[in-house]
Structure formats: C-alpha cells, structure tokens
Structure 1
Amino acid sequence: MTPFLQILKGGADLMPSMAPYFIRATITDAVGIENDTLEIELDDEGGQIPLPAEDDELTVLAGYRETGVSLAGVFKVQGWSVTGGGGDAEVFAMTARAASLTQKGKAGGNRHWDQKTLKDVFADIAADLGLSLSIDPLLASRILPWLARWEASPIDFATRLAAEHGAAVKPAGGRLSVVERGSGRGASGAPLPVIRVNRIGSLGWQAEGEPRPRFSDVVASYHDPKDGKRKTIKHSTGRKGPVHTIIHPRASEDEAKEAAASKARDLTMQTGSASFTVTYDPAYSAGAIVEASGFRDGVDGRWVSETIETSFEKDGGAISVISCKAPPA
C-alpha cells in the first residue's frame, strides 16, 4: 500500500506545493505531557523556503492512499532551523507541537478542593485550559480529602497530580486526557489496539534490561486523624530488593495506598526498555501494549509503548519506531 500524508493550513493542503522540496515529515505520538510533535524537513537550496509564522495551525491527516487517512494531530508552529555547508544539502526544518497546549496552560495560580474526586479536579483543570475532559473511569472516582494548587500552572499541577495516581495527562485534540500509565487503556477506559511485533518482518529492534531500580516493597506514610499518629502501609512490587520509602506523608490511608501502588508501578516500568522499528500502521497509539515474539528471551513478551515516532520519507516510505518500557508488576 501507499503511505499518504496531508498537512492542512486553513483547509488548504500544503503537500502539493511542498512536494518538490519535501525530504521527510516526522510525527511523534507520546504518552503524557511530553506532547505530540510534528517536524517537516525541506530542501532549502538557495533559501527559497518561506519562514513560517509562529503559532500557524497545521492539521495533519495520515494513512494509506488505498484505505484512507485519519487525523494524526493538530499542531502549532513553534520554531524553525536551517542547516547546510561543507557540501551537504541545505535543509530547512520546521517544528510544531500539539495545539491544545496553549500559553494559559503555563500560567501560575492558586486553588483548593475539599472532598472531590479526581474527575472533579481534572474537570476544573480542563476548564481552565479551555478543554473538555476524558478520564479513565477506573481513575475518575478516586476521592481526595483535600488538595491544593499553589503557584503552579494548570498543566504542571495536572502532571504532578496524575503522576501521584499512576496516571499520565495529555492535552491534545481539544481534550485533556487522563489515563493509567502502563495499563494499555485509553481515556475512555477501553483497551487500545494491541501492537504485535515479530522478528520476521521487523525492520530493527533493541532491548535493554536495567539492574536498577529494583525494590521489593514501597512504603508510604499517612497521618491518622483518629489517634493523631503517623502510620505506614506497604505495597509489594513483586520483585526482590530493598524497600523504597516515599518521603512525604499523605493525608489519608487511601491516599497513602494509592501513592505506594503508583510508585511501585513506576519502579517496575523502569527495569527495562525496548524499541521496535516497523512499517507504519495508523492504528498504533502510544500507551498501547506491545506483544513481541520471535526475537529471543528477554525481548519476547509484553511491553508498554511510550512513544511512536513515524517518518514519512521523500521516496514514499513510512516507518515507525515504537519506544517501550517494561510492563508494570
């Protein structure tokens, strides 16, 4: 099949006019606030490429000519660069980031919540950002006795809050999406399509096992209002090693349990990494489970995709590099 890419500005497709100069376009789909990016590289021999305007909005559609295209993202231009000299080709590169992350998402501010659910809090943050909210139902109903945002931007506060609950937050496509990291689910709570990679047909792979961090348990503390004492809870990682202690105490036993479980998931995901280079498939999404087979012991099995970087080349090829972490215990 034939990879097909459209880059629209104000409804007009820029690809026909860029075709004579086109080298490649790279789209990165990432889990969390790392934010999706678009980079376009063009042949700038003679400096004929006009400079883009900052915050120009670009809508990208991608897929295959035979089966159609779907939305790959809406991006705003952030900057550009030019390179050349020494006999090398002169290249103009333009970088854009997901349009949903606006300047107001970086403004500081204060706010507090009493006896609210995660859904309530993230709904308020989404409203501050001018976005709608989509949150995994398994996260939405968690109750927070008290929570404060102090001199923090909405997006920084949302990122920290999500991390404390083993989640990732992402502004894209007019929504603030909150998903459980490593679960393989989308913000609706439904499983994302599994990515299956096999040595036969693979274009390349790499995997690494990390000897550290390896911990047997995570301990979190909380203040018990009934007797005024500080107490602790323990969550097993399912591995051997020392105990990891969370420094800051939580406001309740439930929050301590969630903090310990979240940290345990994060620690186990840091014990391995892998990347697989495959032919582009528009159904692949960052955050999906990757099932590898036919490679070798240590590579075969389940991984969790963190980023998918897809390059559309001048010769018409489209290749994706799927970067993964070890699955949570």
Structure 2
Amino acid sequence: MATPRIQIIADGTDVTGNILSGLLSLTITDGVGHDYDNVRIDIDDKDGVIAPPEKGAELQVSAGYEDDIQDFGTFIVDQVSLNGWPQVISVTARSLDGLSEAKQGRDQSYRKEDYPSYRDIFDELADRMGLSLALSNEIAGKSVEFESQFGESDVTFASRLGRKLDAAVSVKEGRLIVVPRGQGQSASSSSLPEIQVMRPGNVLSYNVTTVNVPKHSTVRAVWFDRLEGVDKEVVVQASEEGPEYLLRQNFQNENDAREQARATAAALKRGEGQATFEIDGEPSARAESYVNVSGIRSLVDGRWRCTTATHVFRGDGPYTTQLICEATV
C-alpha cells in the first residue's frame, strides 16, 4: 500500500520533521469562492516545547504519497491556537493573507470606455491583490458595459463577478484564478484530472441528496434600453420542460441581462443534487474536477462535479479525501 507523505516549508525552512514528530492531523481544503483554500495543522505538544510558526509566515505545502506528491501551494498563517490539556498547537493558514488590502472595502466604477473586457477588470483586481492573474480566454473576452464596486473588498467583488459570469474564482499559489464554472478546467483551460469513485475500490462512505427543485424551461431577464426608452427582454434555454423563470432584477443593459440569465440557468440545473464522498486519499483531487462514480447504486452512480476537495492526513491513521459535489449541468 502506498505510503502517505507530506512536506511543509515555513519561510524557506523545511519544518516537516518537527511537525511529523507530533502530527495529529493535516487538513488541506481546496475550494472555490470567497473563503478560498486553507490548511490546518494540529500538533501534539505534550511537553510544551514546540515553537509554532508566527502569524504571517508563509507555508509551502506538498502532500500525497511517496510516488505521487502534489504541490498544494503557498499559504499565509493567520491563526495560531495553543490548547491544553492535553497540549495541542493548532495552526490555520490561508491562500490569501487576511490582512491584505484585498479584503479592504473600496468604491469604484468600471465603465466600458476604460475596461472594455472582463480581462481588464480582473487584471486590475489581481494587481491590487498582489497576485498574478490566471484567466480563461472564455471569461477574458466577455465585454463589459458597466460594473460598480460599492463598499466591497476586491475579494468580495471578484467573487460576485464570478457568480454573474458563472465562473469559479479562487486564489491558489499566488494567482487569482478565474475559469468557467462546471467545465472541469484549470486556469490554462486544460482539463483537470477526473476523479474515480468506485465500489469495490476506493470509496469509504457517501451521502447523496436529490432535491426536487422546480424545473424551468427558460430564464427570462429584463433590461432597459436607454436609447429607445423601453424595457426589453432576453430569454435563455434552461431545460426541456417546466415554466419560465423570471429574474426579478431589471438590468442596465442587454449584456448584463444575458450573462445573469445564463448563470441562473446553469445554477438551476446544478441545484438538483448534492453529494459527499469519502475516498482513499487522492492527491490530484481539486475543486472543479469531475467525479465519476460507479458500482454504488442508481441515483448515485454517474458524473458529478467537485466543489470542495478536503485532504486529511492523520498522524496515526490513513490519508483520506472528502469530495463535496453537485450535479453536473
């Protein structure tokens, strides 16, 4: 059986040995959205002599197996807890510094004259956040009419734009990553590895909930044409059956109305089912990966999309991966 392996470098110094000597658990969460990725390390400090990393320290985390170790990126320590008895040190680190300007509120308008495409907006956001930008061509080429950031941090604003554009927004390895949601793509537009969940095989437990959400054949959005002084509509196909879904918000332009209608149509489909699978440790599992399930039963077997992948390494137990999934569009 493959041997789990971790490596942790703190501010350029390899501290793996110190951590392994008292490791209770290492939890790596790879997700999408406002909270981004994080790492938690729990260490047995029974003698009270282990020096924890300082807040603000950079942790480079790699983990997996001896023959398949994966780079999970760099994380900034934002919380250190000392607990007793027994004495335990808990360290939490995130992919985005909690004290950075990215989390400070600001007011700004983005007009098409200055920001013709969403690449221009995300370029500026990434620059202010101190990150490089990894943006898919599909999102980059979308035209901007007008966007307003009112009292929002750059982090919150980027996440809101992602929801509008039906894009997955995350911070990983010093990059602001924006890719189409639900397409199993990395920031380079290449396909993420698909995860296999099998019985017999690697599945340890599962929970699947099917939701009887109302089906809608179309999504309708209303926008105001300032030149003609009248309301106009856009309609986007959502499914083969059901009544129309009307967005209550009136939009300022056709582009915004169409983007929101498309995102809503996709979200309605994804809401039809949720699943959680616990499997033997799978280092390649990431948020936005497709998950192929087989051998369990009807309503469970099939293709899912991972929204959060959590990797747990235990000092005295196995390495496992939890996949939180939703139905594919």
Match of 2:189 in 1: 189
Determine if contact 1:100/1:173 at 8 Å carries over to the other structure.
no
Q: Give the AA of the match of 1:304.
A: R
- 2:223 maps to 1:222: yes
Gap change, CA 1:213 and 1:127, over 3 Å in 2: farther
Match of 1:106 in 2: 103
- Aligned residues: percent identity? 32
Gap change, CA 1:213 and 1:104, over 3 Å in 2: farther
Match of 2:165 in 1: 165
Distance 1:213 1:126 in 2: 38
| Map 1:202-241 → 2, pairs under 5 A | 202-212=203-213, 214-238=215-239, 240-241=241-242
Determine if contact 1:213/1:271 at 8 Å carries over to the other structure.
no
Distance 2:180 2:215 in 1: 21
Gap change, CA 1:52 and 1:239, over 3 Å in 2: farther
Partner residue of 1:94 out of 79, 91, 95: 91
How many residues are treated as equivalent by the alignment? 324
Q: Structure 1, residues 267-312: CA drift from partner, whole Å, max 9, x if none? A: 2212211111122222222111111111111111111101111111
Q: Give the AA of the match of 1:134.
A: A
Residue 150 of structure 1, CA deviation: 2.4
Q: Give the AA of the match of 1:179.
A: V
Match of 1:9 in 2: 10
More moved, 236-245 vs 151-160 = 236-245
More moved, 10-19 vs 152-161 = 10-19
Distance 1:264 1:296 in 2: 28
Q: CA RMSD in A?
A: 2.0
- Partner secondary structure for residue 320 of structure 1: strand
- Partner secondary structure for residue 184 of structure 2: coil
Q: Structure 1, residues 182-208: CA drift from partner, whole Å, max 9, x if none? A: 111122222211112112111111111
Determine if contact 2:100/2:129 at 8 Å carries over to the other structure.
no
Gap change, CA 1:93 and 1:242, over 3 Å in 2: farther
Q: TM-score, normalised by structure 2?
A: 0.91
Q: Structure 1, residues 38-58: CA drift from partner, whole Å, max 9, x if none? A: 111111335444344211211
Distance 2:188 2:18 in 1: 39
Match of 1:245 in 2: 246
| Map 1:64-83 → 2, pairs under 5 A | 64-67=65-68, 69-83=69-83
Distance 2:316 2:67 in 1: 17
Match of 1:42 in 2: 43
Q: Structure 1, residues 148-198: CA drift from partner, whole Å, max 9, x if none? A: 222321111111111111112112212111011111112222221111211
Distance 1:254 1:105 in 2: 27
Residue 254 of structure 1, CA deviation: 2.8
Q: Give the AA of the match of 2:295.
A: G
Q: Give the AA of the match of 1:113.
A: Y
- Partner secondary structure for residue 189 of structure 1: coil
Distance 1:319 1:226 in 2: 58
Q: Structure 1, residues 225-272: CA drift from partner, whole Å, max 9, x if none? A: 342111222223216445432222222223211110101111221221
Determine if contact 1:82/1:92 at 8 Å carries over to the other structure.
yes
Distance 2:89 2:240 in 1: 49
Where structure 1 has 5 or more consecutive residues not aligned to the other structure, the ranges are none
Match of 1:288 in 2: 289
Distance 1:231 1:249 in 2: 10
Q: Give the AA of the match of 1:14.
A: V
Q: Give the AA of the match of 2:210.
A: G
Q: Give the AA of the match of 1:161.
A: L
Residue 82 of structure 1, CA deviation: 4.5
Distance 2:164 2:14 in 1: 42
Match of 2:301 in 1: 300
Where structure 2 has 5 or more consecutive residues not aligned to the other structure, the ranges are none
